[in-house]
Structure 1
Amino acid sequence: MQSKYKEFSYAWRIVLASAVGIGLGMSPIPIYTLGVFAGPLSAEFGWGIDKVFSALPILTLCALVLSPLVGLLTDKIGARRVVIGSVVGFSVGLMLHAVNQGSLALYLTLWALVALLGVGTLPITWTRVINNWFSECKGLALGCALVATGLFGIFVKFYVAFLIDAVGWRMAFVGLGILPLVTSLPLVYFLFRDVSDPKVPAAQKRILADKPSQVVSGLLASEAFKDWRFWLMSACFVAISFGVGGLIPNLESLFNSKGFEQSDAVILASLIGVSVVVGRLSGGFLIDNFWAPGVAVCMLLVPAASCYFLIQPDLTFTVAAISVLLIGLTAGAEQDLMAFMVARYFGMRSYGVVYGVLYSCFALGAGSGPWLLGKEFATTGTYDNALVYIGIAFVAGSLPLLLLGKYRDFSTSKES
């Protein structure tokens, strides 16, 4: 056990830099801060909330299109270069929002620019390097890094709210953009290096020399895309992200529709943050010690049951709270599972582009889920039918993963 976790003693720097980079990157910041900016933008420009949130489909579309490209670029030139450029570009894109004088077209264009310049801050780049450094406790390392999406997401929400009250929304965008520059960028520059980087300290090189190389082992992208396992994973993660992504933004509205007071609905929805943290860490630990598809099924069937509980007409606060906590466990584990299974089934040779395409599938589900659930509620006045669909999505997205079989072993020979 001690030797297994020894990987953290020489690779903690990678996890730290990745956690801060992911937490202050394109994955959590727009989702957690748009709601805070919505009030001031609506008050000054007369925009409806729907116009403010129209940035999210643009970000989703850009992530869907650009993720495979940034994955390919990461495979070609290395994650560190991509990350450094993306952190700077992401920060600049955020700060440029301060120049907007009320143009909705400019507002949407700037969010597209944020996505274009900042796509390298998505988990694609960071998880590649973590997978290379860690072998025995790969899942836990991924969980420790990805847990930052929830932790930093909560922090930036309060940070932006403070800035808006203190200096206005324009300077709040500037302050938000500065944050990655003064935190993520120094950590990346000094700590974030892949195992093949010539500037890796000598002591770490000696440790890595005794471990089987993972960097060039695995399938080519063309081989992975011909493998039925890849397409099975793609379909499963569309369904999984549809369920998770559709539920979380609609939780407050769902509980309001069930008769809860607004204050109780906010409390219930906020519980998701706690369980996301638990899900990331526990999921990472479990997939290190047990077969990942089996762990996935266990963790994904639980929120399917939660959907059933939420449909009940006599829903109590306690049952609702338990249901939200169980849903959050899945929301905390799905990206860990995806990164882990790509490494185990396809190897690291073309990890960037393979993970990038899978992330596009993930973005497709996560981006369409909130809109489809919202449309269902607007049409019927209830989320009950939508909850049935979500429950089916969790089951349909998890059970087929059991067909993946045992992990591939890339340590001795190349499999195709």
Structure 2
Amino acid sequence: MTYFGEFRAHWPNLLGAMLGIALGAALNHYMTNLFGPSLIAEFGWKRSQFALIGTLGLATMLVLPFAGRFTDRVGPRVAASVGFCAVPLTFLAFSMMRGSIYEFFGITILQSVFGILTTTLVFSRVIVERFDIARGMALSVVMSGAPLVGAALVPVVGEVIEAEGWRAGYRLLAVISAIGGFVAIVLVGGRKPRGAARHEARATGRITRAQLVAMARHPAFLLMVSGMFFCNFPQIVVSSQLKLVLLESGAPSQLATWIVSLYAIGVVCGRFASGIALDRVTPQLVAITALGLPAAGFLILASPATSVWLLAGAVLLIGLAQGAEGDIGAYLTSRTFDMRHYSLIYSFLIASMGLASAAGSIALSLTLGATERFDLFLLLAAALTIVGALCFYFTGRTGRVEIPLPADKPIATMT
């Protein structure tokens, strides 16, 4: 099959996966920035308390491998159905909060746990099962759904919050997630892999503990997990603090909202650029180039600069690299490890992202408590971003992981 022939054959699956990623738990990644100022103002929460939202990702780390294994065994459609039964209900629960930040944290944890099944852990498998020649570009297209929807919905939801309040904003997200999730589930189930590719992709063979340990000790695995950690350490800033950072830099509220929308556009551009490059250039070169970009953006935000164009440019740079990071991680996982256990292995990378977000949240809370400013954390974010890019670059020296994963007679199993 040709490069574009893969898109013609599997476009319904591609569209369904793109909608699924965009309209599940990922909605909160782009929307929490908008709700933060209103929640802090109404309930009197401290910014240092609100910054701890990123630590809640730790709750998902224990269940991530099981979610990955569940997806490998039952397939993306069933797994996504479970996730989309829960996520809209959590948005409704947000709209009924009464003021305790612990209530907010509790709902966020529930959404994080069940929302795993509406993320790239599930929907990227739809793509790697069906695309080979155009895998990099297909992953970019499917992962562009979230930032595209984010760019479109940020101004809309922002207007709803301004006009009708934050409760109406959360109710709107619940409706959007429920309808979009249903459409996504229908589309991803429309076609299935054929022949040998189907057998490989949907194999339910077990992986022994010895094989899992051997894989976890492989340099490629360690470098990819480390790279994901360092690149996502600053995630708390872009997921829930970006508008506050921009306000601190002197941007008016409406302008800050516009710049947050520009971040989402940058993510889309970064994903398409990385997707094209991954299908044509050594992925490690793509990684070192694309994932080093946020460092410059964080340094600009940490500086005394107040120019609108400098602030917008910094956010755009951060967005470009955030778009590339997801594609590079999924692409390298599918090319480096056995496809039969793709979601299980990829779950460890996602767990690393969650751990990084939690560590970053703690660091941000401490630095905000000590200085009442974001500057120190932004400098740390710039340094660690460069380290993460280097980790991905050095995976090129390890080669493919050739660890047999037999489907029968395991010595001990992880189910």
- TM-score normalised by length of structure 1: 0.82
1:12 partnered with 2:25 = no
Secondary structure in structure 2 of the residue aligned to 1:333: helix
1:51 and 1:393 map into 2 onto residues whose CA distance is 21
Partner of 1:3: 2
Are residues 154 and 59 of structure 1, via their aligned partners in 2, closer, same or farther at CA, if it must alter by over 3 Å? farther
Q: CA deviation at 1:378?
A: 4.6
**2:32 partner amino acid:** L
2:142 and 2:283 map into 1 onto residues whose CA distance is 18
Partner of 1:396: 387
Partner of 1:48: 45
Mapping of residues 226-375 of structure 1, within 5 Å: 226-246=217-237, 249-258=240-249, 265-310=256-301, 312-313=303-304, 316-373=307-364, 375=366
Q: CA deviation at 1:334?
A: 0.7
Partner of 1:181: 178
Q: CA deviation at 1:160?
A: 4.0
Partner of 2:188: 192
**Range with bigger deviation, 318-327 or 15-24:** 318-327
Partner of 1:119: 116
- 2:223 and 2:391 in contact (8 A); partners too: yes
**2:183 partner amino acid:** P
RMSD across aligned C-alpha pairs, in angstroms? 3.5
1:21 partnered with 2:20 = yes
1:403 and 1:65 map into 2 onto residues whose CA distance is 28
Are residues 321 and 345 of structure 1, via their aligned partners in 2, closer, same or farther at CA, if it must alter by over 3 Å? same
Which of the pair has the greater relative contact order for Cα pairs under 8 Å at 6+ separation? 2
Which one of 49, 68, 74 corresponds to residue 65 of structure 2?
A: 68
**CA deviation string 1:45-66 (max 9, x = no partner):** x342659947834642233333
**2:11 partner amino acid:** W
1:148 partnered with 2:145 = yes
Percent identity of paired positions between Structure 1 and Structure 2: 24
2:236 and 2:167 map into 1 onto residues whose CA distance is 29
- 2:129 and 2:201 in contact (8 A); partners too: yes
Structure 1 gaps of 5+ residues are 194-198
- TM-score normalised by length of structure 2: 0.82
2:56 and 2:358 map into 1 onto residues whose CA distance is 9
1:376 and 1:293 map into 2 onto residues whose CA distance is 33
Q: CA deviation at 1:333?
A: 1.0
1:98 and 1:251 map into 2 onto residues whose CA distance is 22
**CA deviation string 1:175-216 (max 9, x = no partner):** 422322222213312x213xxxxx747xxx6xx448696526
1:94 and 1:311 map into 2 onto residues whose CA distance is 33
1:33 partnered with 2:24 = no
**CA deviation string 1:39-82 (max 9, x = no partner):** 665676x3426599478346422333332221111112222111
Are residues 272 and 57 of structure 1, via their aligned partners in 2, closer, same or farther at CA, if it must alter by over 3 Å? closer
Q: CA deviation at 1:131?
A: 0.7
Are residues 414 and 43 of structure 1, via their aligned partners in 2, closer, same or farther at CA, if it must alter by over 3 Å? closer
User: How many pairs align?
Assistant: 400
Structure 2 gaps of 5+ residues are 407-415
- 2:57 and 2:354 in contact (8 A); partners too: yes
**Range with bigger deviation, 113-122 or 98-107:** 98-107
2:33 and 2:295 map into 1 onto residues whose CA distance is 28
- 1:238 and 1:365 in contact (8 A); partners too: yes
**1:351 partner amino acid:** Y
Are residues 275 and 242 of structure 1, via their aligned partners in 2, closer, same or farther at CA, if it must alter by over 3 Å? same
Partner of 1:215: 201
1:85 partnered with 2:82 = yes
- 2:40 and 2:47 in contact (8 A); partners too: no
- 2:63 and 2:113 in contact (8 A); partners too: yes
2:89 and 2:405 map into 1 onto residues whose CA distance is 43
Are residues 298 and 145 of structure 1, via their aligned partners in 2, closer, same or farther at CA, if it must alter by over 3 Å? same
**Range with bigger deviation, 369-378 or 337-346:** 369-378
2:67 and 2:6 map into 1 onto residues whose CA distance is 28
- 2:54 and 2:360 in contact (8 A); partners too: no
2:238 and 2:175 map into 1 onto residues whose CA distance is 32
**CA deviation string 1:243-280 (max 9, x = no partner):** 45446654444455555555655554443222111001
2:102 and 2:88 map into 1 onto residues whose CA distance is 20
